[in-house]
Amino acid sequence: MTLQIKTLEQYKEVYQESVEKPEFFWAKQAETFHWQQKWDNILEWDFKTPAVKWFEGGKLNITENCLDRHLATRGDQPAIIWEPNDPNAPAKTYTYKELHAEVCKFSNALRANGIEKGDRVCFYMPMVPELAIAVLACARIGAIHSVVFAGFSATALADRIKDATCKMVICSDYNARGAKNIPVKAVVDEALKQGCSSIEKVIVHKNTGGEVQWDDAKDIWWHDTMKDRATTCKPETMDSEDMLFILYTSGSTGKPKGVVHTCGGYMVYTAYTFNNVFQYQEGDVYWCTADVGWITGHSYIIYGPLLTGATTMMFEGVPTYPDASRFWKICEKHQVNQFYTAPTAIRALMAKGDEYVNGHDLSNLKVIGSVGEPINVEAWNWYNEKVGKGNAPIIDTWWQTETGGIMITPLPGITDTKPCYASYPMPGIQPILVNADGEEVKGNDVEGLLCIKFPWPSMIRTTYGDHERCRQVYFSAFENMYFTGDGCRRDADGRLRIIGRVDDVINVSGHRMGTAEVENAINEHPAVIESAVVGYPHDIKGQGIFAYVIAQEGTAGDADFEKELRAVVTKVIGPIAKPDKILVVPGLPKTRSGKIMRRILRKIASGDASNLGDTSTLLNPEIVDAVRKAAGV
């Protein structure tokens, strides 16, 4: 197991060592894993290209470390506890032995269905244990998984399948979410009509058992292909820098990009951070409520916990079904020790009233975590008092799809906590604040753009199929630094507070979205001439989506038009990208070079039209008043 820091003194020492001798520090952590062959070189890096290699020459299979390694010591311990959507249905437990057997069986099934090392396999599945099993099976045979959140539309799914030229899709028949039974296979069918010629087979897991369309030439039932498979499977030997997975995420321009993570570094970093950030102890039950469709689910439902030999929970449903006490009922039922969720869920549950949390036995909680977006002080206090009862420290963990693992966070019981502050860097992480010119913002009580100036094992290696884009987006803004896209404040004592994105990325209920992506979707409506999308403060979602639309005459105030716009966004991206507010405007404020002045639109969307700044240099200054009037501010 990796080193678990226990005291503040130790954190300071370890941190110092990790900065002064990073290679020595990470090699020590890496040595605690099972390698088929040791690495030749700990680290090689250059942020210009960028080219980052950790533990080069090392041979491993991450699933041997997640599963095989634990069989002798904890074979009968629960690895995954699955809590179904239906509160009256029994939970399902997989011990490490059982999980190992299921993963091996599915690995053999994948191979029998023509999947080989290096092939890309797309997932479009609800939160069922088969998702974790199949992801691990891919990793075992060296196939690259690309999990797509099952809330995305057929078009969004097709885009991702095509970008990674996936050979197979693994899906379910339906998704049981609250009172709804959402078709899943039908969305895959729809996606495959959109030019996904690389797909040879679709493996379908029967979840709720509803009707599905069937194509004998390519569709295969999970239970059929699993029949009589051997329960052992020799893992593929992977190089440390071989690709482990692709995960698509949104940026400020263009289509979502496939963030690439590799085997060795990702393994070491997710295990190290899981062990330390959650202070996991033998026998604890850990629950992260994220979806495996996002990086949080990859790193802290599947890989980090299983690498650590933990018991990790998976929940199929939603926090408000059958009512707003579901999370707390599950915590009580499974005596959850570490609980990790998103601010948007906390705010939504807080809004339902304290009666839903009160009266549940949450005394097993030792650590409660927050992730994905800034947590406001009211939500932080409520979480602290009502859920943690003042006994379980809140860890406000900042990180990104691109960072692979948690970067900045308090360590519970070790470092202090302060509302809204992610606070301190993990060992091995060297954050730096810079101004727009790339000069370091030194000292305390200051603000700047958050960058990281030294590589860490689980950092992004490339964007799939387009390395130049990776360089451009993350490594070109400032020399020799990884640019996060976030603004950050350092308080008088040196704690870090993430303020939010400084680019055209918005964070809606913890879902990351590019405003350009939403605009492109809106623009597909034939009556739309131009649109501009910005985020605005939203009580529950953190940010809401505000769409300014220039449309053909006669559409203003037309309720059907708004409905159609939401439908087109749902079709192109998915319901998570539906605009909360749509405003038809006669024009958009633009600079002389034709760029939309989003700063002004953001202000107006927030309901505040004071201090719009100097608008006289605009190409069309008169439009500002017109937009303001249309918005009623």
> Interface with ligand WT7 by CB under 6 A: which residues?
249, 294-296, 371-374, 396-401, 422, 484-486, 498, 500-501, 507, 512
- Helix 8-20 to helix 22-30 angle (10° resolution) is 110
Q: Where do runs of H (alpha helix) occur along 114-241? A: 129-141, 154-163, 185-192, 222-226
Q: Are strands 92-95 and 59-60 parallel, antiparallel or unpaired?
A: unpaired
420 contacts 376 by C-beta, under 8 angstroms: yes
Least distance from C-beta 497 to ligand WT7, angstroms?
8
Least distance from C-beta 409 to ligand WT7, angstroms?
8
When the beta carbons of 22 and 404 are compared against ligand WT7, the nearer one is 404
**CB-count exposure of residue 443 (10 Å: 0-12, 13-18, 19+):** exposed
When the beta carbons of 1 and 540 are compared against ligand WT7, the nearer one is 540
Least distance from C-beta 469 to ligand WT7, angstroms?
16
Least distance from C-beta 606 to ligand WT7, angstroms?
18
CB atoms within 10 A of CB 602: 17
When the beta carbons of 222 and 380 are compared against ligand WT7, the nearer one is 380
Least distance from C-beta 99 to ligand WT7, angstroms?
24
When the beta carbons of 405 and 589 are compared against ligand WT7, the nearer one is 405
262 contacts 243 by C-beta, under 8 angstroms: yes
Residues in the chain: 633
When the beta carbons of 25 and 421 are compared against ligand WT7, the nearer one is 421
Specify the DSSP element, H or E, that contains 74: helix 69-74
CB atoms within 10 A of CB 421: 24
Least distance from C-beta 224 to ligand WT7, angstroms?
36
When the beta carbons of 249 and 341 are compared against ligand WT7, the nearer one is 249
Least distance from C-beta 172 to ligand WT7, angstroms?
23
When the beta carbons of 337 and 401 are compared against ligand WT7, the nearer one is 401
Record the tokens describing residue 311, joined without a space.
Answer: 């018991």
Record the tokens describing residue 215, joined without a space.
Answer: 């194509």
When the beta carbons of 149 and 548 are compared against ligand WT7, the nearer one is 149
Least distance from C-beta 255 to ligand WT7, angstroms?
16
CB atoms within 10 A of CB 60: 26
Q: Where do runs of H (alpha helix) occur along 95-212? A: 96-112, 129-141, 154-163, 185-192
527 contacts 563 by C-beta, under 8 angstroms: no
